[in-house]
Chain A
């Protein structure tokens, strides 16, 4: 445990240094995040206005709040892109990682966290700028903000592990574009990324409750906006823990098979 903590810390430091080298790339990612949130914000504000100032239980200024807070939660819950993993496997970079006496996921996690930490330097000013322009309204509920911290951590870990499992399929086939696109499409719809889930028809909201995506994004976002009730919060944590258990079992299963397959076919 101490060993893993040391690796996490050392990898975080190393990747923090590396991330600062990628100023342009970080900047572009930040602009991408800003543009995406801005598009949804404008679209849904227009819809709300056309429908008399309300959509899916959100007023026009609450919609603005949703998509500004969205940037924060989105930055926290990004994970390893399967394409990046595929590239590493194809280039043979995975060989040296497999020969280290510690699982590669730990150094990878630190790399991700370092990139998030650096991104926050620009995300937060961008959120402030948007807030000044769109004058959002949201309620800061103290208990909800306290619950936000574990909810965000769980959301990050959950999505991170899920993306990692998905990325590991690259060990079987190195042409996964189609699968990822389908996956992202489903996630887009059911996570609350394109629209607050309350906008969806009742049946879709029920489906969203069962799938993992809501718990990786919409749930912490609602806590940040102070829109959750205590019973909803408890249900949310229960779902996060349930899905996390499933994911951890899944990654162990997949990892063992993936590396065995890798070892069988050659790197």
Chain B
């Protein structure tokens, strides 16, 4: 099967003009401008199969948005090649643009002063959506996202979360096969994030759509993606299963113990990171987990014991910190 997204040695270098502060530097800048190269993305490689939902992680400035913009066709790569559905995105061929969508947290594609439903009619003409399919799709999206009243109000009167819902629905009306989602839940409250997540998951499953999602909310990634690509300083740090991320980047596990006698001092068994509601959490090097738990069970009356990977946020912190050192 051909990959939906195929990226080979993809690079993007920006040339930025810079000058020091002050009047003298400003005057000098008129005659001679200092140029500086910023390598936003450096020779990255990955493949995404049709129907896959992949999380795209990285700290601010890692190159996520630049990559998503190159894949959608807004930016020309300075090196390497990206192919999406067999097309070179930067050519922005009509046939290509019809099959993709780019959703960003601050996207304004709807006309501000009119209800979203009226903007949807415009999208119908732009994407040449079949009238019956269009009607069905709108009804369905309105139902799933619970936005019957929202699509009838001028967009400027909607709250941020409401606007994001109508924007996302608008971005999917033409049934794109590939979705580039850049922080789609930015600024939304938790129930709204959950709803948007569910909507994206259902859409992808039903349409067999391929999704590349960047988000700062690990909950988005955990809920939607089995596979993650971690990008840091323009390069790929990790590409694989989300579960393997923890295994690869953390050297510790979390051991949670509920002793029968809560007054016991357990500090001799390892580094305690948390102690509340009768439970004690230890941070234990992976290799020491079997020995430590065996010792605990033998020596202390235990009501409950669990061994967990650290929370994904902590894993990501470790990953980014490591990336910065390497």
The verdict on A125 contacting chain B, using a C-beta distance below 8 Å, is no
Q: How far is the CB of A104 from chain B (nearest CB, A)?
A: 10
Residue A266 is within 8 A (CB to CB) of chain B in the complex:
yes
Give B89's nearest chain A residue, CB to CB. Answer: A99
**How distant is B224 from chain A, measured CB to nearest CB, in Å?**
22
Is residue B250 within 8 Å, beta carbon to beta carbon, of the partner chain? no
A21 contacts B128, CB within 8 Å?
A: no
B259 within 8 A of A: no
Interface residues of B in 226-241 (CB under 8 A from A): none
Q: How far is the CA of A14 from the CA of B121 in the complex (A)?
A: 8
Instruction: Tell me if A17 counts as interface (CB < 8 A to partner B).
Output: yes
Determine whether the beta carbon of B114 is less than 8 Å from that of A99.
no
Q: Counting CB contacts under 8 A, is B76 at the interface?
A: yes
Measured between C-beta atoms, what is the minimum distance from B183 to chain A in Å? Answer: 14
B73 interface residue (CB < 8 Å to A) = yes
A101 CB contacts on chain B under 8 angstroms: 94-95, 97-98, 126-127
Interface residues of B in 33-79 (CB under 8 A from A): 66, 69, 72-76
Q: How far is the CB of A107 from chain B (nearest CB, A)?
A: 7
Q: Which of B101-109, B138-146, B201-209, B279-287 participates in binding chain A?
A: B101-109
| A18: chain B residues within 8 A (beta carbon) | 111-114
A4-12, A154-162, A241-249: which one contacts chain B?
A: A4-12
Taking a contact as CB atoms under 8 Å apart, the answer to whether A11 and B122 are in contact is yes
- The reply to whether A99 and B76 contact each other, CB–CB distance below 8 Å, is no
For B106, list chain A residues within 8 Å (CB).
92
Q: In the assembly, what is the distance between CA of A246 and CA of B262, in Å?
A: 87
Identify B72's interface contact among A14, A21, A99, A262, CB under 8 A. A99
C-beta contact mask, A1-45 vs B, less than 8 Å → 1, else 0? 001001101110111011001100000000000000000000000
Nearest chain B CB to A67 CB, angstrom units: 33
Given A21-B154, A93-B108, A267-B74; A107-B122 close (CB under 8 Å): yes
Does residue A174 face the partner (Cβ distance < 8 Å to B)? Answer: no
Are A266 and B128 in contact (CB-based, < 8 A)? no
Q: Report whether B14 and A22 are in contact in the complex, using a CB–CB cutoff of 8 Å.
A: no
**In the complex with contacts A99-B97, A101-B98, A266-B69, A11-B76 CB distance below 8 A:** no
Q: Are A266 and B14 in contact (CB under 8 A)?
A: yes
Interface size on B, residues (CB 8 A): 37
Complex contact A266–B76 (CB within 8 A): no
Taking CB as reference atom, which chain A residue is nearest B174?
Answer: A101
Give the docked Cα–Cα distance between A267 and B108 (Å).
Answer: 14
Q: Which of A7, A13, A14, A22 has the most CB of B within 10 A?
A: A14
**Known contacts A14-B114, A263-B76; is A9 also within 8 Å of B94 by CB?**
no
Q: Write the chain A residue with the least CB distance to B154.
A: A21
Is B122 within 8 A of A14, CB to CB?
Answer: yes
Indicate whether B293 reaches chain A with its CB closer than 8 angstroms.
Answer: no
Say yes or no: A6 contacts B72, CB within 8 Å: no
Cβ of A153: which chain B residues have Cβ within 8 Å of it? Answer: none
Chain A contacts for B102, CB-based, 8 A: 95-96, 99
- Does B90 make an interface contact (CB < 8 A)? yes
Known: A92-B106, A263-B74, A263-B90. A102 touches B113 (CB 8 A): no
Q: Does A210 belong to the interface (CB within 8 Å)?
A: no
CA distance in complex: A9, B119 (Å): 13
Determine whether B190 belongs to the interface, using a CB cutoff of 8 Å to chain A. no
Query: Do A14 and B108 form a contact, CB below 8 Å, given A7-B125, A101-B127, A265-B14?
Result: no
Considering only CB atoms, which chain B residue lies closest to A19 in the complex?
B113
Contacts of B100 on A, CB cut-off 8 Å?
Answer: 99
- B95 neighbours in A (Cβ, 8 Å): 101
Chain B 1-17: CB-based contact to A (< 8 A → 1; otherwise 0): 00000000000001100
Q: Which of B66, B95, B126 has the most chain A CB atoms closer than 10 A to its own CB?
A: B126
Residues of A within 8 A of B113 (CB): 17-18, 21-22
Q: Which residues in A have their C-beta under 8 angstroms from that of B108? A: 91, 93, 96
A10-B121, A21-B114, A91-B108 given; 11 more Cβ-contact pairs under 8 Å: A6-B128, A17-B114, A93-B108, A95-B74, A96-B107, A99-B72, A100-B97, A101-B95, A107-B122, A266-B75, A267-B75
- A–B Cβ pairs within 8 angstroms, 24 of them: A10-B124, A10-B126, A14-B111, A14-B114, A18-B111, A18-B114, A21-B113, A91-B108, A92-B106, A95-B69, A98-B73, A99-B97, A99-B102, A101-B94, A101-B95, A102-B94, A260-B76, A262-B74, A263-B74, A263-B76, A265-B14, A266-B66, A267-B69, A267-B74
7 cross-chain pairs, A with B, having the tightest CB-CB distances, nearest first: A10-B125, A96-B109, A101-B94, A101-B97, A21-B113, A263-B76, A6-B125
